[in-house]
Chain A
């Protein structure tokens, strides 16, 4: 039975956003008997609604509200109004995600101590470490059904992987496999259908083989009777009382009507651009710089991983689009080894785009025969994606646009990002290695493709031991306001080399435990 809570019920936990962070937190709290209202800006879409068509699916699910960009990153030039590729739907970006689910390496929780001071960087150690996170990672892997963890076998390699693997092994790489994926790999080891190699993981898995909060955690939470998800509900502002405690949120429903939902606790999980935007848009007389912002770190340290792709053409067909989009990884370069000319490390992962997205992303702005002869050989193409740790910088930040407003009349976010020299050195190294992998298999032409709009958005409400250096403590609880939590990727202190979602989920499970405990102790 799906719950229904009153707007004036001030005993509920309000969660803003239902993606990897918010969706999991909502279910975990509901399972513990905590009453939750989850407000989600997007609509509800289930596997039968997903579309095996890149642009149509993008139009259906992507967050397309106005945003602006600045800084020297290439995305600002190529996609000035689309800094990030994020989903607006129940389940958030877990509908579009590829499912790569890997843990941080132990040293990555301690970036400042491990790498030392880096010029221009705002590096910091996380207030938690690998040992503390290990049990939560295990729970997250169970929840997501991650392959190559527990008793779950790896996925079979598709054509794109087989080319990638051969190239990797030719270069002497050792840690090469079909990835740890939140995708069902066998009928015996989980309750989802196993992967049918359909190849539209980025468009929402129509089989439900891939984990997405939309059809797992959300309905499971609703089934407890403790969770009400209100879709098409865009939160505009978080309200507080004269003691500085948050008390309610204001949101617009699908018809543009404004409502106020009271709350005992508010958890912000709108992803790394919307979460700080909401805190900044909630500025008040008492908190003129925005909520939970005494440190001035809200919106700062925006990270998006060092990314880029390498595509290559061979003299024979590859047909990379067949099968899982990202089930393939080389982890040898993920180590911290400053002899390569940069701190931190990166992963190489298989990636394929369909023809329409390839045309948009292979070399944005490119035209003429140099460009079209590459697409002419689309059938003979293989591809990989680079994901590496980028350096947090104080001025890489989300701010409110001074003039432009969205459809609700709220100031839109500007996303400013400039590459750090360390990021550039890492990306160049990765391009070189990726191209060498394909050349080792006989590629006739290779392309170091620039970054796409950010799919991994992190860091703008970061965790810190010291309240002057970050927004929240090791539980995601804001330093300034005890009943206000950060529950998404924006709490990342540093980004590590790994795809972030497993860590977001592990933190959400851990946070649910903490919130439930603190509630019953009467502390919040």
Chain B
């Protein structure tokens, strides 16, 4: 089992049993947070469980094992808003119904990514999935903080471009 899947599993335990040790904690009434408190998302309009489900969904849509949860949390944070909360509730209900149809208790309680992906495939043409997915394209990949993880260097003008910083430094051809 990969580290990623283990994390999914602990998250499920967390969500079903509420507070316990793990990679992610539903803290108090309005937060989910990493156990080391390195980051936390405060939710005001939607429930912490809904936020955790969105986070899992984001990870399953664009899984990058080297990218920490906090970046995915930032990417879905916008759903915690009064005018989105019905959309989120209905979407997660749709997601969980699809999970049940495939013999699971709920989407977030599924241990294996492969099985969660099958559930997502069942709803992938719907508005909920498409909205979350397309929002992630910018919500996740446009966070400057994740660019170095992919090796992308971003802005270069302030450093004088690459003319003296390796624009043609390829050495293996």
Contact = CB atoms under 8 A, between A and B. Distances in A.
Contacts of B157: 52, 198, 200, 206-207
Contacts of A408: none
B61 A359 contact: no
Contact residues of A: prevailing secondary structure: loop
B167 A355 contact: no
A356 interface: yes
Contacts of B141: 355-356, 358-360, 375
A197 interface: yes
Contacts of A137: none
A468 B16 CA distance: 73
Size range of the chain A interface in the assembly: 35 or more
Interface string A144-167: 000000000000111101110010
B152 A55 contact: no
Interface stretch (A272-280, A311-319, A412-420): A311-319
A158 B167 contact: yes
Contacts of A359: 137, 140-141
Interface string A441-459: 1000000000000000000
A367 B61 contact: yes
A52 B133 CA distance: 25
Contacts of A52: 154-158
A323 B170 contact: no
Contacts of B38: none
Contacts of B61: 367-368
A53 interface: yes
Given A55-B142, A319-B151, A367-B62, A156 B168 contact: yes
A316 B161 contact: no
Nearest to B165: A322
Q: Which of B60, B137, B170 has the most CB of A within 10 A?
A: B170
Given A317-B151, A372-B62, A162 B137 contact: no
B147 interface: yes
B163 interface: yes
Nearest to B171: A316
Nearest to A358: B141
Interface string A340-370: 0000000000000011101110000101110
Interface string A268-302: 00000000000000000000000000000000000
Contacts of A159: 166-170
B126 interface: no
A199 B61 CA distance: 30
Contact of A354 (B62, B138, B154): B154
Nearest to A162: B170
A504 B108 CA distance: 56
A175 interface: no
Given A52-B156, A372-B63, A375-B64, A356 B167 contact: no
A186 to B, nearest CB: 13
A368 B168 contact: no
Contact of A367 (B133, B151, B160, B168): B133
Given A196-B163, A368-B117, A441 B151 contact: no
Contacts of A195: 161, 163
Interface string A207-245: 100000000000000000000000000000000000000
A358 B168 CA distance: 21
B168 to A, nearest CB: 5
Nearest to A355: B152
B56 to A, nearest CB: 14
A321 interface: yes
Interface string A417-431: 000000000000000
Nearest to A359: B141
B142 A356 contact: yes
Interface in A169-211: 195-200, 206-207
A172 B151 CA distance: 32
A156 B163 CA distance: 10
Contact of B170 (A55, A318, A360, A375): A318
B152 A378 contact: yes
Contact of A355 (B62, B150, B160, B170): B150
- Smallest CB-CB A-B distances: 10 pairs: A379-B151, A196-B161, A323-B167, A198-B161, A359-B141, A52-B155, A197-B167, A355-B152, A322-B162, A322-B167
Given A55-B142, A157-B168, A372-B62, 4 more contacts: A159-B166, A200-B156, A319-B166, A369-B63
